[in-house]
Amino acid sequence: MLTKTNSLSQKSGKILGKSRKGSETKQAGSELECGMLCVADGSCQSVNCKTAGIGKGLCGLNSKTLQEASEDYEETNLEFNHLHVIKKVRKLIIILYCCMAREQESSCL
């Protein structure tokens, strides 16, 4: 489980819901890959990662974070984690690809 890195921060069981303007849904093999899709996207600021249940792996790219959106848009759903971008670094994208390729290992660096 991704808890915090130099580029992403996680909020378990929370999602940016309702009408997520500027959002796109993709399929990801892991929470790490979902976060990587956001870091690689120019307008993505956060993602809703479905980590359990039917549809596991859905990755909703958002143009806002929970902090930027109104409280009306924050929803609780224990099958999701919300990740938001702290800082985008080009080198980090390469590191994330490395991590994704070796996700089963204890260390990817």
Whether residue 107 is predicted with pLDDT greater than 70 in this model: the reply is no
Residue 26: pLDDT band by 50, 70, 90 thresholds?
very high
pLDDT for residue 56: 93
Q: How far apart are CA 65 and CA 35, in angstroms?
A: 13
Reported pTM? 0.65
Q: Which domains does the chain have, with CATH numbers?
A: 6-101 (3.50.4.10)
More confident residue, 79 or 85: 79
Residue type, 15: I
Q: In angstroms, what CA-CA distances link 57 with 9, 68, 70, 81, 102?
A: 18, 24, 26, 11, 18
